[in-house]
């Protein structure tokens, strides 16, 4: 053990007796056989070897030496210059309790007071409830009832307001088909005009195509198709307007989707690589949710 601490035999014997006395234990002197006299701790013990002290404390406190090393190092860093009163340098009958008390005080001075036993207990009242406002405010599917079945939303209690929706999509033609469309050489005829009429008809048939959509009285439908030479594509924009109890987003989306499908149908003989992409809502206004625009 002396080699483990880095002490000589004589120095190890002296320091071991000193450390035992410091820890509150009675040491039996193996050389003198004095029967375990109480030993005072000299002033030199203010700088005891941490590893040796850890070893003794680990045995005395029944803790693993690595855990005790952490505790003792923290104590030594803060109490290196501390002077103990004479009464604290002698062993007493309550030495064990005194050592534990000193350790607790030192840990509190380093880490603060220990939390109460219920500090980390989650109160049952704080657990989220199904009927709490935070849960109610979460988005939910309006076309699904409480049992999970599809249903049409009842809008009879809503007020009539003006509602507008604008949607767009893009049809990627490729250079070959784009040149045929721009020069009006497609065998089926004028692609852009036919697709425009198809888009308007599609908007009017939205409630028939989409099962849970309401049959809305549309006041205006606009479908525009523009050739984009840089990307060899057709840019389609559709707008639907009504004054009613529900929005016209689906009507605008259906208009551009049907117009895009019509472009594909009229050009598919020239190429199968045509792609309909970016069918999306661009803007809407009116109703409870107010105005919304897609961020660029």
Q: Report, as residue numbers or ranges, the catalytic residues.
A: 265
Structure tokens belonging to residue 77: 């860093």
Q: Give rounded-to-5 percent helix, strand, coil for the chain.
A: 40, 15, 40
Q: What is the 3-state secondary structure (H, E, C) of 18-74?
A: HHHHHCCCCCCCCCCCCCCCCCCCCHHHHCCCHHHHHHHHHHHCCCCHHHHHHHHHH
Which 8-state DSSP code applies to residue 159?
Answer: P
For 67, residues 6+ apart whose C-beta sits below 8 A from its C-beta are 58
Q: How far is the C-alpha of 188 from the C-alpha of 171, rounded, in Å?
A: 17
Contact 245, 275 (CB under 8 A): no
- CA 65 vs. chain centroid, Å, equals 39
For 232, residues 6+ apart whose C-beta sits below 8 A from its C-beta are 172, 173, 174, 175, 177, 178
């Amino acid at each position: 053990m002396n080699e483990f601490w880095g002490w000589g035999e004589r120095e190890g014997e002296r320091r071991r007796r000193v450390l035992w006395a410091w820890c509150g234990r009675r040491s039996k002197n193996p050389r003198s056989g004095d029967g375990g006299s109480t030993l005072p701790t000299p002033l030199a013990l203010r700088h005891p070897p941490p590893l040796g002290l850890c070893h003794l404390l680990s045995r005395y406190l029944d803790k693993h030496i690595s855990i005790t090393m952490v505790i003792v190092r923290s104590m030594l860093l803060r109490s290196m210059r501390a002077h103990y009163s004479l009464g604290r340098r002698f062993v007493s009958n309550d030495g064990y309790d005194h050592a534990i008390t000193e350790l607790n005080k030192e840990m509190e001075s380093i880490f603060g007071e220990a939390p109460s036993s219920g500090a980390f207990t989650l109160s049952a009242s704080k657990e989220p409830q199904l009927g709490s406002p935070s849960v109610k405010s979460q988005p939910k599917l309006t076309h699904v009832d409480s049992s999970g079945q599809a249903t049409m939303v009842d809008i009879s209690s809503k007020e009539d307001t003006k509602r507008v929706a604008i949607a767009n999509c893009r049809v990627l033609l490729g250079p070959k088909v784009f040149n045929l469309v721009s020069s009006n050489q497609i065998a089926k005829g004028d692609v852009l005009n036919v697709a425009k009429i198809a888009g308007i008809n599609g908007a009017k048939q939205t409630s028939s195509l989409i099962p849970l959509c309401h049959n809305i009285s549309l006041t205006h439908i606009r479908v525009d198709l523009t050739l984009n030479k840089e990307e060899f594509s057709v840019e389609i924009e559709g707008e639907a307007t009504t004054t009613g109890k529900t929005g016209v987003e689906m009507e605008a989306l259906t208009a551009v989707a049907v117009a895009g499908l019509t472009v594909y149908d009229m050009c598919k003989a020239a190429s199968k690589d045509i792609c309909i992409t970016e069918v999306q809502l661009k803007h809407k206004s009116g109703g409870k949710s107010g105005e919304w625009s897609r961020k660029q």
